[in-house]
Amino acid sequence: MKRIFITILAGTLLLTSCFKDLDQRPVTETETDAETVYGSVSGFKGMLAKIYGSFTLVGLEKGGSNADLSSNNGQDLMRAYFNLQEAPTDEVANTWLSGDKVEAITFMTWDANDPWVADGYYRLYYTIALCNEFLRHGSDTEGFSEAEKADVASFCAETRFIRALAYWMVLDLFGKGPYVDETMKVEAFMPEAYDAAKLFAYIESELKATQDLMPASVEYGRANKDAAQFLLARLYLNAQTYGCGDHYSDCIAACEKLRTAGYSLEGDYSKLFNADNHLRTNEIIFPLVVDATNTVTWGTSTYVVCGQCDHDGLLDAEGIFGIKEGWGSFRVRGNLPALFGNPLTSTDKRCRFYTDGRSQWFTSNIDDSSQGFFCEKWTNLKDDGSIASNSVESGVCTDWPLFRFADVLLMEAEAFLRGGQGITRSDALGLLNQVRQRAYGNTTGDIADADFTLPLILDERGREFHFEAQRRTDLRRFECFTGPSYIWEWKGGTLAGRAVDDRYNLYPIPAAELSANTNLKNDKY
């Protein structure tokens, strides 16, 4: 069993229903419970676990019972995030279009009433609400010893990081959103709308302020100061996309700090996505914990591991994936394996697709489960090949590697090509080739200087990070997500693919939220 601190403090807080107030607090009948919980360091730590768990869990009981929110789909944040980041792109081909309500996001025809858009939005603001509540109590530690006050202060720094992460997701997905922090009143009110510039400035200031307050070393499953540095690098890499100026040199500076922090690439790429990946702390900077005992979820990595395996018994569910049965939720569009050249002969170890008797390219509907390769990247197998858990009863045991050192290397190489200062071209190319050498096991896949270009970086990110909920952000940064510069099969709802309107670069604020807060509006929807 992996050692984790996330054992959720069940029944601690019951939050008011959404969304009279985006900064919710315990209802009256649980005020005494809240005072008890926040009356000790162990209570604070339990609520910190709840905050971390808000990315992967739906509610307080196994598999999502006793849900935190009333929601259109009732799924966890990372399931919604995966769908929003992957379903519209050149990577995922969804099978249950109507059943999973993913037709609109698959074909880039969503509107402000889309259920996955609403789920992502409200789950993010639920996390923000939890953080604000924690910080409100964390500012009052009267009666605590000095050592206990120091512990709570450290927890508060972590909480500010988590809140910044949630706000970054709001910025990246929606481009704007209401702003609420722990200093604001807790009764119903209408929060101010922050545009991209204000969200960017706030997130940047929080990450700069908290990284020196966060611990350098923490229990597995918690974020240390390097996680804040990583998110700062990602914020800077995407700054120009958000309309917030050129921060590529800042991105390089942040990556340089991480490159000297002692991280290294895991030798076996596949082990980053198996049930023993909690042992890969050499590369995984910040994980989201998924455990078949303490953090049972039908989303996050359970969704991907079970979803990428067919449900008709074509694939060996136990032998390949370490699960009892597949869900058959998605396959891959032909453009993804095409990144590896000929996927049948590629020696790139990241090229992990089930191809037997299957066509790479579609000739019919995207939900035709007989077409498209299956991805074999994620598993519920341990290092020794044994199955980690009964996926039918309790999901998988594979953590989600949210921040990886490989991303540091590729972010820095890209930032250089975009004009960032601080390293040489030879240095930047060497960073890319470190990732390539892990993929090939030698230098045969090294990129020559003449081929070291931004389009190659986009392709490399597809090879390295596919099915990790990054593709939409990457395509958008390269101006390839909506327009005609890159067309993939079934983009925009046609087999041949088509350009779609630039409004789809961002998701709309849900219609119900617009009705509740007149400070918000969707300019292009």
pLDDT at 61: 73
Distance from C-alpha of 321 to C-alpha of 329, rounded to nearest angstrom: 14
Cβ proximity of 399 and 382 under 8 Å: no
Distance from C-alpha of 333 to C-alpha of 368, rounded to nearest angstrom: 12
Distance from C-alpha of 271 to C-alpha of 315, rounded to nearest angstrom: 20
Q: Give me 447's structure tokens.
A: 């990129």
Tens digit of pLDDT per residue, the chain (525 long)? 454 444 433 333 333 323 333 333 333 333 446 777 899 999 999 999 999 999 999 987 776 677 888 878 889 999 999 999 999 999 999 999 999 999 999 999 999 999 999 999 999 999 999 999 999 999 999 899 999 999 999 999 999 999 999 999 999 999 999 999 999 977 778 999 999 999 999 999 999 999 889 999 999 999 999 999 999 999 999 999 999 999 999 999 999 999 999 999 999 999 999 999 999 999 999 999 999 998 899 999 999 999 999 999 999 999 999 999 999 999 999 999 999 999 999 999 999 999 999 999 999 999 999 999 999 999 999 999 999 999 999 999 999 999 999 999 999 999 999 999 999 999 999 999 999 999 999 999 999 999 999 999 999 999 999 999 999 999 999 999 999 999 999 999 999 999 999 999 999 999 999 999 999 999 999
pLDDT at 13: 36
Cβ proximity of 404 and 386 under 8 Å: no
pLDDT at 6: 45
DSSP letter (8 states) at residue 489? T
Contacts 24+ apart (CB under 8 A), 40-46: 41/144, 41/148, 41/151, 41/152, 43/9, 43/12, 44/134, 44/137, 44/138, 44/151, 44/152, 44/155, 45/5, 45/151, 45/155, 46/7, 46/8, 46/9, 46/12
Please choose, from the candidates 83, 85, 124, the residue with its C-alpha nearest in 3D space to the C-alpha of residue 103.
Answer: 83
pLDDT at 8: 37
In angstroms, the Cα distances linking 459 to 130, 212, 268, 414 are: 37, 35, 21, 12
Chain-centroid distance of CA 158 in Å reads 17
Taking residue 392's Cβ as centre, other Cβ atoms within 10 Å add up to 10
- Count each helix (H run) and each strand (E run) in the chain, helices first: 17, 8
Cβ proximity of 70 and 122 under 8 Å: no
Which sign, positive or negative, has the C-alpha torsion 423, 427, 431, 436? Answer: positive
Q: Are strands 192-194 and 177-179 parallel, antiparallel or unpaired?
A: antiparallel
Distance from C-alpha of 196 to C-alpha of 243, rounded to nearest angstrom: 7
94's enclosing H/E stretch is: strand 92-94
Distance from C-alpha of 115 to C-alpha of 237, rounded to nearest angstrom: 30
Planar angle of CA 380, 383, 388, nearest 5 degrees: 35
pLDDT at 30: 39
Q: Give me 56's structure tokens.
A: 């992967």
Biggest CA pair distance of the chain: 69
pLDDT at 73: 85
Residue with tokens 């120009």: 240
- In order of their start, the domains of the chain are 8-195+482-525 (1.25.40.390), 290-398 (no CATH)
Phi, then psi, of 81 in degrees rounded to 5: -65, -45
Phi, then psi, of 165 in degrees rounded to 5: -65, -45
Residue with tokens 């993929």: 439
pLDDT at 64: 66
pLDDT at 240: 98
Taking the alpha carbons at both ends of the chain, their separation in whole angstroms is: 48
> pTM of the entire structure?
0.94
Nearest 10 degrees: CA dihedral of 161, 165, 168, 173?
-170
Distance from C-alpha of 409 to C-alpha of 412, rounded to nearest angstrom: 5
Distance from C-alpha of 49 to C-alpha of 221, rounded to nearest angstrom: 9
Q: Are strands 284-288 and 192-194 parallel, antiparallel or unpaired?
A: unpaired
Taking residue 376's Cβ as centre, other Cβ atoms within 10 Å add up to 18
Residues 6+ apart with CB under 8 A from 437: 443, 445, 446
Distance from C-alpha of 424 to C-alpha of 380, rounded to nearest angstrom: 41
